Structure 1
Amino acid sequence: MDTRIDREIEEHPWREALFSGQTWVRRSLFLMAAIATGLVALLFNLADRFSVTFRAFLLKGESLWGLEIDSQTGTGIAMGLSIIGIWLAMTLRDRFFPGTQGTGIPQVMASLNVEADDPLRQSMLSWRIAIGKALLLIIGIYAGATIGREGPSVHVGACLIYLIGCWGHFPSWAVQRGLILAGGAAGIAAAFNAPIAGTVFAIEEIGRSFEKKNVGLIMLGVAVACTACWVYLGDYVFYGKLNPSLTSPSQWLVIIPVAIVAGFLGGCFSRAVVASTLWVNRTLRSHRVLLPLGLGCGLAGLGLASGGMSYGSGYDQALGILQHDAEVTFIYPLTKAAGNFISLASGIPGGLFDPSFAVGAAMGKLSAPLFPGVDPRAISMIAMTAYFTGVVRSPITSVVILLEMTTARDMAMPLFMAAVIAYESSKLISKTPIYEALAEIFLQDLRTKQTDKSTA
């Protein structure tokens, strides 16, 4: 790795900061990449929003562009799209876009574990992967996969901002980690309009360390990407402004059982996804058609059993629970979690944030009658934080992102307590955090393929 830029910055800080043309080129390239990351997150957001309208057209008989279809026929079409869509996404991924599998966050984490000049990094961060990730995510969204947008936003953002290092001659510390962390943080922040959570997630989960040199890059990338989204969407609150609270000391006792159960279930989900990923990777080598079709049929079956509620990210359902006290049935969190499990196990691009929050919100809503007198929205927020913490084991991010998504400042301490309890509860069943485990699987698979190529 070229350290000449490092020496110049160290020896001539004023000249490099203010008067170096190369420095201003680097800054311009970084800003363009951060804007592009924000626009990609906006594209994913709009695609997800329109998919809700599209599914209402299929499943509820609502009009779309002046067209109408009866719900029975639409249900059949939705099931067919699930089967064909999962098969198509998995096939395109394996044939044309290797390296795009999974949520994208483990891939970004894995890229930080290899040197910048290691050829393996090109198998994780490239223009081909950025394009493939976006294309396959959109296929998955309209196939009805139970996926979120944040993972692909992180992966594409890391690709975009890292790849400018090939043009701009950045310092070695930025090429090794800083640009990747900035891209990942910008992607997740822009996906949810949560700049603080995006910054925290990059430090807590993606980088798993605090690196003072990289903080400025991370914060700048986040600020620019979020601003790019604001131009179209405005400075919105993801779940809308809420003001629930726990109004007496006895109500705080609700946190303990809800956080223990939700955190443990999140840990079970995490462990199941890691185990199924290993199984799918092995089985896919000999069943490249049957396995994708089988997973698609599973997703279609869940859609039929749940009346279409298992399809999609779950954002609308979580929003309805938090803002309008919408009713849910016991089958909803089961089918939503099962749909997210199948989608993640298939390895198609897609995230788990939105579905996890939807499952947590439903768990809280369903358990609210057990705690009379407590605001159901408060219980839902506690369950959302706990379940999400159980799944990803990033307790700080879990608290910060829910607070940014709702502006519910009175829930800060209850969510902190719920996250800590859920974190410990999840560790009882899931020894390794999901992203860390998936990153290791992905990296090991890449190294095995590299070894096979070199010995062939």
Structure 2
Amino acid sequence: MQPFAKLLRRLAERVPDDLVELQQWRRRLAMLVSALLIGLLAVGFAAAGDFAQRVFAAQAAREWYMPLVLTPVIFVVIAALTRSLANEARGSGIPQVIAASRDSEKAESGELLSVRTGVAKLLLSVGALFGGASAGREGPTVQLGAAIMVQVHRLLKVRVSPGVLIAGGAAGVAAAFNTPLAGIAFAIEELAVAYEQRVAVLVMGAVMIAGLTSQGIAGDYVYFGHVGHGMPVSSVLVAAPLAGVLGGVAGGLFSRALLTLRGPGGRWSGVLGKRPLVTALVCGVIVAAIGVVAGGTTWGTGYEPTKALLEGARGDYWFGPAKFLAALVTSASGIPGGIFAPSLAVGAGLGNLLTPLFPSEQSGTIVLLGMAGYFVGVVRAPLTAVIILSETTGTTAVILPLFATCLIGDWAGSMVCRERLYHALARDFMPPVPEAKAEENRYT
């Protein structure tokens, strides 16, 4: 009996270690499978979104009045489907991930990051682009990435921690833009409350695998192509403050207006929320009309006109303000769609307003600074803005001007709208707390 008792003791000592090791391998497998799926779906999402925009552009080119019929109808259909199938899929998707990361146990069993919400987010976001919505796919990819992480971890019986959600969102940004460093920066600035070493390893692993997967399919590309050149210090001292203040104020106005229209406690959010289909119809008409007047440049993500301005092409000076209105109205409609790409397009248009003040060979760089100022004014994440613009344009020559512009833009944006947009919108997906109730009066 004594040898048998010794054997049992040894087994008892080994079992916990074996279980711990098994759990670690499950966790690693869950991260690997999740990141692979995020990379694959990000590429598929991008292809579907581009196809949707081409189809809409072709329809709009046939008859000038076609968008005035098509866009409102699709907005209403998307709003109705969102409300009936997955109301948690509305809007950008980033606020949902922020809300879920604050209570990961509830997120695991709730609807914010469920399979239904993830599938609905993908399909309805593509559907919105079929209707000419001024929306991006990056925010939806963040929610989709976090949802994939949650569901794979549940399937493999691995605990869903806040770091899992953060890693999924970061991988979504990295795969959507082919910007791995921006994904990590976004996780630090926007998604995480406290950034621990363990979370850092998880985020970097997810970003690396998702990025390599998307690169393996779509190739190692630079989102906007290699643009931007260095600037003399004399030009930087003028351009950075101008772009930072103009972009930051405009970005702050966008955030403040959107929170008034759709934010928790916003003056108009209750009215618009009670009549979602009427709101979608009116917003669809406005978005269509803006696009018709602007020659179609305000529909979709705004990638093509933004790329042209970065390459030094002469653009219409009203593009920035028109895209601003189209993006704001699309977001106010409540249909699924992101604001990352439209914000970059608006910023490019605002930067274009400043180009007459500088030599023509610097126009692309001035446009880039305008993008930085406006983007950080909306998102209020200066490090993410610098890195994402550096990676999407393949330039390091203007890192310091970008930093200067983003810091000024962040300050200017905070003067107009004190709350950070995504975090304010995230309260819509959280249980009411006293602090949130106190903040609700800010926009009433």
**Fold conserved (TM > 0.5)?**
yes
CA contact (8 A) 1:106 1:435 kept: yes
What is residue 41 of structure 1 aligned with on the other side? 42
Tell me what 2:8 maps to. Answer: none
Choose which of 226, 250, 258 in structure 2 pairs with 1:241. 226
1:96-140 deviation per Cα after TM superposition (whole angstroms, max 9, x unaligned): 112111100001001122251x37961311111101111110110
1:150-188 deviations in Å (ceiling 9; x for gaps): 1100001000102222233435xxx22111011000101
**Equivalent residue for 1:99, pick from 77, 88, 91:** 88
- From 49, 70, 81, give the equivalent of 2:70: 81
Matched-pair contact (CA < 8 Å) for 1:399–1:416 = yes
Pairs within 5 Å for 1:271-290: 271-277=256-262, 278=266, 281-284=269-272, 286-290=274-278
Name the CA distance, whole Å, in 2 between partners of 1:52 and 1:292.
19
Match of 2:103 in 1: 114
SS in structure 2 of the partner of residue 254 of structure 1: helix
Using the TM superposition, give the Cα deviation of residue 322 of structure 1 relative to its aligned residue in structure 2, in angstroms.
1.1
Q: Give the Cα separation in 1 of the matches to 2:240 and 2:413.
A: 15
CA distance in structure 2 between the aligned counterparts of 1:446 and 1:133, rounded to whole angstroms: 27
CA distance in 1, matches of 2:19, 2:108: 32
Tell me whether 221-230 or 426-435 shows the greater mean CA deviation.
221-230
Match of 2:254 among 260, 269, 282: 269
1:280 and 1:45 mapped to 2: Cα distance? 33
Superposition deviation, residue 27 in structure 1 = 2.4
Q: For residues 235-263 of structure 1, what are the alpha-carbon distances to aligned partners after superposition, in whole Å with 9 as ceiling and x for unaligned?
A: 10011112411124354322112211111
Higher mean alpha-carbon deviation, 43-52 vs 310-319, is at 43-52
Of residues 254, 274, 296 in structure 1, which corresponds to 2:284? 296
Distance of 2:69 and 2:433 partners within structure 1: 33
Tell me the equivalent position of 1:127.
115
Structure 1 pair 21/208, CA: closer, same or farther in 2 (3 Å)? closer
Q: Distance in 2 between matches of 1:248 and 1:86?
A: 47
Distance 1:286 1:387 in 2: 31
Q: Which residue is equivalent to 2:146? A: 158
Tell me the equivalent position of 1:453.
Answer: none
Residue equivalent to 1:318:
306
Match of 2:52 in 1: 51
Contact 1:266 1:387 in 2 (8 A): yes
The alignment status of 1:391 with 2:366, answered yes or no, reads no
Q: 1:147 to 1:304 in 2, by over 3 A?
A: same
* Conservation of the 8 A alpha-carbon contact between 1:125 and 1:159: yes
Among residues 428, 431, 437, which one is paired with 1:441 in the alignment?
428
CA distance in 2, matches of 1:113, 1:151: 18
Unpaired runs of at least 5, structure 2:
1-12, 435-444
1:67 counterpart residue number: none
Q: Aligned pair in 2 of structure 1 residues 95, 240: CA closer, same or farther (>3 Å)?
A: same
Q: Residue 186 of structure 1 is aligned with which of 134, 152, 171?
A: 171
Structure 1 contact 246–374 (Cα < 8 Å) conserved: no
Taking the aligned partners of 1:158 and 1:246, their CA distance within structure 2 comes to 39
Contact 1:152–1:350 (8 Å) recurs in 2: yes
Deviation per CA, 1:360-410, whole angstroms, max 9, x where unpaired? 112112211122366011111111101000001000000010001112111
Q: Distance in 2 between matches of 1:299 and 1:446?
A: 35
| Contact 1:161 1:179 (8 Å CA) reproduced | yes
Q: Structure 2 vs 1, CA of residues 344 and 285 (structure 1 numbering), >3 Å: closer, same or farther?
A: closer
Corresponding position of 1:344: 331
Aligned partners of 1:318 and 1:361 also within 8 Å = yes
User: What is the CA–CA distance in structure 2 between the aligned matches of 1:250 and 1:236, rounded to whole Å?
Assistant: 30
Alignment deviations for residues 425-444 of structure 1 (CA, whole Å, 9 cap, x no partner): 11111010100110013325
* Equivalent-residue separation in structure 2 for 1:355 and 1:98 (angstroms): 23
Per the TM alignment, residue 446 of structure 1 is displaced from its structure 2 partner at its CA by 12
1:369 maps to 356
SS at 1:253 equivalent: helix
Q: Aligned letter for 1:100?
A: A
Asked if structure 1 preserves the Cα contact closer than 8 Å seen for 2:102 and 2:162, the reply is no
Work out the CA distance in 1 between the residues paired with 2:130 and 2:69. 11
Q: CA deviation at 1:411?
A: 0.5
Q: Decide whether the 8 Å contact of 1:41 with 1:190 is kept in 2.
A: yes
Which letter does structure 2 place at the counterpart of 1:34? A
Partner residue in 2 for 1:306? 294
Larger CA deviation: 274-283 vs 357-366: 274-283
Sequence identity, in percent? 32
Contact 2:377/2:409 (CA < 8 Å) preserved in 1? yes
Letter of the structure 1 residue corresponding to residue 316 of structure 2: T
Deviates more, 1:415-424 or 1:363-372: 363-372
How far has the Cα of 1:301 moved from its partner?
1.3
Does the 8 A contact of 1:310 with 1:336 survive in 2? Answer: yes
